[in-house]
Structure 1
Amino acid sequence: MTKVKQKNVLGFFKKGVHRVVIATSVAEEGLDITQCNLVIRYLHVTNEIVRLQSRGRARAENSKYFVIAEKGSPTLDKEQKNKRCEEIMNEIVPELQEYLEKPENNWEKEMLEMQKVIKDKEDQMQRERTDNMSDDACEFQCMKCSSLICLSEDIRTIEGRHHIVINIEVNGRLKLKRGKPKFFGPDEPQVGGKIFCMKSDCQNELGTLCTYKDIVFPLIRLKLVRVVNKNGDGNKYKQWKQLTCRIQELSDDKFCSLVEERKMNLLL
């Protein structure tokens, strides 16, 4: 049934043209029909929350709610359990509400203080990571064959999260396979396809492709590569924020120079 037909059916029911509406579980919540005075559920029981929502569809005064099920069936047992849960909830909620409204039980203030402590700790850890970062270039190598892919200075970030390789020479070390791009937004980079190690005896997957303002860049997937520092120590990372080498954001000036560089390569 289309939404237009659903709207018409509910309209007829509200006006009294229809006296009964038969619906699936979609009617358990969201329908506000003040004239409804009877809800019957046939062999359909879920949990105490849905039970409360279903009963709430009957808004008229002195309305009734029934469940039709075989005596002794699991459906009936579940409904009785839900009823007990609702009764317990009705006992607890008023006491809890009274407790929370007392000035001495200022739980909201405590929660905000806890969030601030966590946020301050995260900011401190980020500052420490930034202070420990080195401007020395690191090598990004294929995890499988250890061949060079690029240097850390060849990588830039877009919006702080898309790590692209801007050095056009890297195309000689990679095999590119285009694919259907995933769109994150109208003005955001498009990601799709795969990149592989160029070596014929390796062909290890290294990431994907990122199209930004009509320019295609290789996009490194960190967990698929090894990062080697100036001392020759290699490490595997899962998150870019764990790196000790600094990765710069792609500036507008740098992007314009990349566009001009690619235009010159096309003319050669």
Structure 2
Amino acid sequence: MISTDVVQAGLDIPECSLVLRYDFVPDSIGTVQARVRARTVGCAYYLITTKDSQNYMKELDNRQCEQDLKEVLETWKGISSDLFKEQVMKKQTSLITEWNESLTKTLITETTMLKNIELIGDVLCRACGYLLGKLSQVRQHGQSYFISDHDFYNRIEEKVSSEPQEYLKTLVTGKALCGSKNCRTELGCIQVLKDYQKISPIYPLKCESIKIKLIEKETGKEQIILKKKWKKMPFTIPLLEIPCTQNNDDIFYDAFDILPSD
């Protein structure tokens, strides 16, 4: 006789003619495991517990679960192989459809939440914390993310290259460095847009070179965000709007302006 939890532990125990469980009922699998320990001919399995107690009701549920499983197995044996495969594929298709619908709803909800985040905060140099501009002024154009604000161009230093790199739609003419005289970390490049000469140059920022200080509007709580890619930011960056006519002085910095001291 074994009266401990060893009966369901899968241990190599001797053959038992009597298995007693004293007020101990786990799940339906545990019930089956305990009963099969009674291996000899004429063996018996008993549960000792108070009638109508929680364990008593649980044991009844476990035995009913076992009986239901037996009925399912008997039903399954009577189903042809082709019909079984058909029903499995049908159920699989149904589950995939439900999963896709649930995923779509989740993505729509998350996208809506991201778009509704008001971009309050600052863009800082990741190396030294130097203020580069306001988060609300960050814009996306193609694969480039930059601060479209006049003051930003007063807070960097340009390092013009003697050999510009030419691409299909852009011309990279140099590097943009942090405006702090004690830092000068490379923030990104100086980029001329061939299709939009009037609004060039722009200064795309490398995501790994900046950090975002996001301020929650309701509470004023600040959160520092560090990402390797702009697309991983927990908010949506607005696209750059390019009107037919544009007063360049309102947005873009004259490269001949003098870089102010810190």
After TM superposition, the score normalised by the length of structure 2 is 0.48
Structure in which a larger fraction of residues adopt helix: 1
Higher Cα Rg: structure 1 or 2?
A: 2
After TM superposition, the score normalised by the length of structure 1 is 0.47
